Structures are given as C-alpha cells and as structure tokens.
Structure 1
Amino acid sequence: MTASHAAALTARAQDVSAEIIADILTLVRHETGSYDLPALAAGLDVLREVAVTRLGAPDGEHRYPGGACGDTLTLTYAGTGAGHVALVGHYDTVWPTGTLAGWEQPEATDEDGRARLSGPGIFDMKTGLAQGIWALKLARESGAPVPTVTFLFNGDEEIGSLSSRPVIEETAKKVDATLVLEPTAHGAVKTARKGSGIFKVTATGVEAHAGLAPQDGASATLALSEFIVAAAAVAAPPRGTTINPGLISGGSAINVVAGSASAGIDIRVSSESEQHRVDAEFAAIQVSDPRVRIEVDHAWNRPPMTLNAASAPLLDLAREVAHDQGRAPLPDTAVGGASDANFISALGLPVLCGMGAIGDGAHARGEYIHPDTVPAQTALVAGLLCRLTEPLPG
C-alpha cells in the first residue's frame, strides 16, 4: 500500500464519517438483548440490510438457526485479488429490550470537551459492525485489489456463543486471517484474553415448615451460601483468576426451609493450569449440612487467548498499516474479557481482536464511543484488508 493510497483511504473515511455514524445509530436503535429472540431476529435483518445497502447483494449467504439463541449470519463478498478474510462480530448485547427508552445522555462530552455518543451496545459492539461493513466498502472503492471477505454476525456471544461456536471455528479454518470487530482497549488491539467458565451450582436440600419443624429441613439456600463464599475464595487475582457469583436463586416461600437453590458463577482464568486448579478446588468444597447435595456443572466456555505464532505477523501487518496511515504506533494489550477470538486463537489460526470502537464502558450504563475516532478505525481495517491479498509471513 503506497503512502498516497493510505492517505486516500483515511481521507475518504473522514468524508463519509457521518454516514458511518448514521449506520451505527441505526443498529443501536434496534435493541438486540441476548435473550429476546424476536428482537434478535429483527436486529439481524436490520444489520443485513445495512450490509447490502453499502456493499450490494453478497455472493454467498447462509443463516444458521440459533435455536434458543440468536441466529448466525454469514455474508461472503468475492474479492478482486487473492486471499480470504473473515470479519467477525456479534450483534447481541447485554441490555434487555426497553433499555433504550430510559437511556440517559445519548450525546455528551468529556471533561475536555471531546464528544461522546452513548447507547446500549454502541461500544460493545455495534460500532465495530458498522465500521467493518464500511471498511470493505472503502477498500473496494479505493481501486486496490481486495481479498474475498466473509462477514460472520452472531447473536449469542454475550451468553457464550453456545450456538455459533462451530460456525465461527469452521469459518476461521477456511480463511487466511480473521479480524474480530470487538471494541479496542482505549485504541489498543487485543492479543490476549482470559478464558472463561460459566459454572452452574445446584443445591438440593430437604423442605420443612420454617416454624413448626425447622429441624426436619436441610436448607439448600444456606448450603449454597456457604458454597459461594468458599468458591469466591478460590479466586487468585495475581494469577489472573477472578470469580463472580452473578446469579442466585432458590427457595419456594419465605416460611419454607428451601429445598433447592442454584447459582451461576462467572470464572475468568489466564492459563490452562488455573482452569485445572479451579476445577479441583471447587470439587473439594464441602458444606456443613451433609443432607444437602451440591452439584457443580464445570462448564468452561472459552479457552485463554494468547498471541500465537500465526497471529504475530498479522499484528505486525496491522502496525505497518497504521504507520502508513500516519497513526501513532498501534499498541496491543491483554484484557480480562473473553470473545470469539478465543476460539480461533486456540485453533492456532491467525486472528486479531479489538479492531472496532474506541470508547469505554462495556456492559455498563453510559457505554460510549468517541465519534471522532470512527474514520481512523474504519480506515485501519480497510487498509488491512488491502494488504491481506498476500500471504502472511510464516
């Protein structure tokens, strides 16, 4: 990519920034909470419409039914050069339908006066979806050869990619490189992510009248509370292991000794050895009442992600593109959150994550992007696509 071509991409992205932001806001206005199947279906239709409006009809398309999860959609656009790249992003969000109506300050400014745009899912990760679509549009319009590009949009990432994981892995195996359009870490790409577990703990006790015969009961909620306290102590933040009991339920009535209770526990680890330690220590936890049965579903969802040998040249290439476009040196970082890039990295395939939005506040009310960064981020992905018509080193 010549200096003039890099400059032209950046300038063109700036020229169309208002249109890119309009598409971002279109996606945000269509709420897509992970558990609302009708909203997910409608939101995916809107996302497909944005892609087709900007890029034309795809050369290949497949919609994979998600069952209890949102569907996964792949759209393939034939290239004018060699190579095949996947652009991956999820359209589901953590926000339930109706959140948008009560969202405060959709437009605001930082203390230094820098503009913000805020909305449910705008940072994680609807901005990345729109930027990815526009990146291919700008790359094609630049006149440079571009690779074949397959977009993969999944609707269940926030709940573990339970349905979409096989599609993600098979797609990644068929391409030369994958760019995951998750938000950046304050401008840095993400080359290492923690692995994640979604454990379910079930306690089964003995019901009894809480006033007449409490001694006959064995409280599932009390035993579960003991288990949760012991489980939380397994965390080891200096080793990268955190444990969060995020969902707890149990009992049938306030005057009944609880016969059942359950908890959902989010676990993050930075190494396989920590996975094994957590498994062993959870299995060793005992509660004080032997009449209560504790069952633990050790559901490891995503393996830890590291900068594997296949991904290092992709990072180098992204840094070259950033340099050619006159950007500051492109940093990379490790983060605690997991993403679909974890699956791809674990296969030993080339992948970069965090190619999307610059902003902050993922999963928090008030999540936001800096709209002035949208053109440069879009141009970065566009420039990288133009360079991926040649094989990566190694």
Structure 2
Amino acid sequence: MTASPAPAAAALTTRAQEVSSRIVDDILTLVRQETSSYDLPGLAAGLDLLRELTVQRLGQPDHEHRYPGGECGDTLTLTYAGTGTGAGTGAGHVLLVGHYDTVWPTGTLAGWEQPGPSDDGRDRLSGPGIFDMKTGLAQGIWALKLARESGAPLPTVTFLFNGDEEIGSLSSRPVIEEAAQKADVTLVLEPTAHGAVKTARKGTGIFQVTATGVEAHAGLAPQDGASAITALSEFVVAAAKVAAPDRGTTINTGLFRGGSAINVVAGQATAGVDIRVSSEAEQARVDEELDAIKVSDPRVRIEIDHAWNRPPMTLNAASAPLLALAREVAREQGRDSLPDTAVGGASDANFVAALGLPVLCGMGAVGDGAHAQGEFIYPDTVAAQTGLVAGVLGRLTRPLRD
C-alpha cells in the first residue's frame, strides 16, 4: 500500500503552516470570482482562473483536457506525472476531484458580510463558496506543490475540476467515472464534517412532477376547469408523507410553479422534489409509493420524472484501506484521531463508490454553513488539511488496488 521513503506528514504540515497565508490568498482569489452553477460566462472565467492558479503553483501539466459542459460548466482535467519508482508503469495514480461551481447567484458577493470570531474566539473567513468548496480546491493544489517540494517519490496526480456538481453533475458524471476507473484512488476535496472525512452519503433524487389539468375561466365557468395547482398541491402533501426519517429518507419540494393568470383555472403546474435515501431498498419504496399517489380530480394527469441522480455511498471494501492510510497520516501529524462520518448530502464521491472503487470524501475545508448565507472556514485549519492531503499523496506511490 505504501512506498518508502514517504514525506513525513508532520514536516509537510509544518511547511504548510509556513505558507498558510499564501494558501488563504489563493482561496480568496477563487472566492472573488463568482461561479454560480447557472452563470456560464462566470463559470468559464472561474475555470480559467482555476487553471491559471494551478499552473502558477505546479507548472504546466503533462496532460490536460477540457470537456465542454453544454448548458453546464466545463470539466477540466490536469495530470501531473508521478516521480515514484517506475513512474508511469505502476507508480500509483491519484484522482483529486473538486467542483468550482457554487449555489450562489452572481452578484451575491457584493452584499456578503464577514463574520466575527466564533464563540471560542477563532477567526473565521466567509464568502460565497468558500466552504463548499473553493478552499478544498486551493488546498489540493498546494498539497501537491508541497509534496513535490519535499523531494520524495510521488504518484501521478490528476486534478478534475467540474462546474456542475451543485446541479447534479449532469455533464461531468461520465468524465468523473472514467477518470476514477483509470486512477488507483480518488480523493474528493469537498469540505469536512467538522473535521471528519465523509465515508457515507445519501443517494439523491431530483424529481420533476408535472400536473396537467383543464383551463377555464375562474369566474364564468370554474366548474369546467380542473386545477393543476390544486392537484399538484395534493400530490406534494402526500409525497411528504412518503418520507421516513428513521430510515434516512427525506423528501423536500423546493420548487413549485404553475398557472397562467390569476383568473384562470390552472392548466399546468410543476414541482421540483429533492429526495435523499440511504439505501437502494428505500429508493425502490419511494418510487413505488410516489407512483401510487392519487389526486382528487381524475381530470388532472400527474407525471413523475424519476430522476435518481446519485446512488447511496457507503464505506466499501476498497475504501477501507484508504481510510486507514489517511488515519495513519493524521497520527503522524499529531492528531488524536481522524473521525469519519455519514452525511445527508451527496457528492461526486457517490459515483466513484458505486463503482466499487476506493474513495474518500471530505478532504477539504473545516468550517460550516454549506449553502447558507455566511458559510465560513477556520483559517487556522488550512495548514493541517493541506498537510493531510499532501501526506496521503506521498503514501500512494504504489497502487492501493491491483
């Protein structure tokens, strides 16, 4: 699993501490370029900036490819050849995955306020996307930089930056899956869960529900109409009852649109439903029970697009040795432990785990507030997290799996 000699994790972390202000500067540079998932020009500028920053820190890659995203942000891969024994012929290959898109609409930055210190007096840095997940991007780049500067053997490293993770990785999923199959291990630079790596994530469904009714004049002939809005409202209430939090299943209708005018019985309505499940069995149950929902007016047709976006992620057999390796590095850093946890959110790690491949998620920022106004990081953790990733890279100069 490991190669010798490997760069000492403690020394890498010390070096990361010496340059932590520069790492933070790079984080803030990325945050200042807004990259909403729905702003294609902003995404293009953000990816150009991210590539420029990577090249500034690491030099020109040995291979790169930009995959057009269509209506989504592009995906970029940058590969840096390994320096381990037999590099290129079994030296180990690590895929570092991170998304550069954020949930924040363009223009959010202008009104963003910095928080004061936390209750225990620790400094915090805030900005749209700083926690989820531009800090992880910068830390990953610097992790390879510091590992290379140590002079120790290193694996081949491929960075994969995608611009559509927050909307389901609609164009980047096949690129991620192909890249993961070519690599020996995948590290996803998503934020930590209060310092813990994420080894289990819920599967997600992004369902679109459409109700088609009959339009009519709301005053002259309301009886001739069949309201799509009323029927869809009934469906949404019934769908919420399908949730089973005790089994890890949640259902949230986050978008609802319908009707054409206030004095017209609505002929059309749509709802966007977010579904989270912890198992394939729950996924099947939800499908069946949603399809069985009936509305009171039989003239309204309900159609459900069962769009399961990400499969559930668990700590598979391939990933367990990778977790053990990361914990070994953390101990060398002087940490008491490196906990792992299950979380409700999904990420691109779900795709990799579903292939039975080794993957660790949550290797990035320490902070809080993902997708919430005021999301933040603790800058005093940047060095340790960067050192952790650098230390793991130094122990993967041989394949973790055959």
With structure 2 as the length reference, what TM-score do the two structures score? 0.96
What's the counterpart of residue 35 of structure 1?
38
* Corresponding residue pairs, total: 393
> What stretches of structure 2 of length at least 5 have no aligned partner?
85-90
> Which residue, 73, 77, 99 being the options, matches 2:108?
99
What's the counterpart of residue 353 of structure 2?
345
Query: Could you list the per-position Cα deviations for residues 176-225 of structure 1 after superposition, in whole angstroms to 9, with x for gaps in the alignment?
Result: 00000000000000000000000000000011111111101000000000
What is the alpha-carbon root mean square deviation over aligned residues?
1.1
What's the counterpart of residue 118 of structure 2?
110
1:52 and 2:83 correspond: no
Using the TM superposition, give the Cα deviation of residue 6 of structure 1 relative to its aligned residue in structure 2, in angstroms.
2.4
Using the TM superposition, give the Cα deviation of residue 392 of structure 1 relative to its aligned residue in structure 2, in angstroms.
2.4
1:85 and 2:94 correspond: yes
The 2-side partners of 1:189 and 1:15 are apart by: 24
What's the counterpart of residue 372 of structure 2?
364
What's the counterpart of residue 323 of structure 1?
331
User: Contact between 2:193 and 2:341, CA under 8 Å: does it hold in 1?
Assistant: yes
Using the TM superposition, give the Cα deviation of residue 3 of structure 1 relative to its aligned residue in structure 2, in angstroms.
9.6
1:118-197 alignment to 2 at 5 Å?
118-197=126-205
The one-letter code of the counterpart of 2:72 is: C
1:236 and 2:244 correspond: yes
The one-letter code of the counterpart of 1:91 is: Y
Using the TM superposition, give the Cα deviation of residue 383 of structure 1 relative to its aligned residue in structure 2, in angstroms.
0.2
1:14 and 2:17 correspond: yes
User: Contact between 2:184 and 2:401, CA under 8 Å: does it hold in 1?
Assistant: no
> Which residue, 186, 210, 214 being the options, matches 1:206?
214
Worse overlay, 134-143 or 2-11: 2-11
The 2-side partners of 1:364 and 1:68 are apart by: 25
The 2-side partners of 1:169 and 1:195 are apart by: 16
Using the TM superposition, give the Cα deviation of residue 4 of structure 1 relative to its aligned residue in structure 2, in angstroms.
8.0
User: Contact between 1:3 and 1:324, CA under 8 Å: does it hold in 2?
Assistant: no
User: Contact between 1:228 and 1:245, CA under 8 Å: does it hold in 2?
Assistant: yes
User: Contact between 1:3 and 1:325, CA under 8 Å: does it hold in 2?
Assistant: no
In structure 2, relative to structure 1, the CA distance for the partners of 1:5 and 1:390 (3 Å cut) is: same
What's the counterpart of residue 333 of structure 1?
341
Using the TM superposition, give the Cα deviation of residue 327 of structure 1 relative to its aligned residue in structure 2, in angstroms.
1.3
The 2-side partners of 1:388 and 1:99 are apart by: 40
With structure 1 as the length reference, what TM-score do the two structures score? 0.98
The 2-side partners of 1:201 and 1:14 are apart by: 50
> What stretches of structure 1 of length at least 5 have no aligned partner?
none
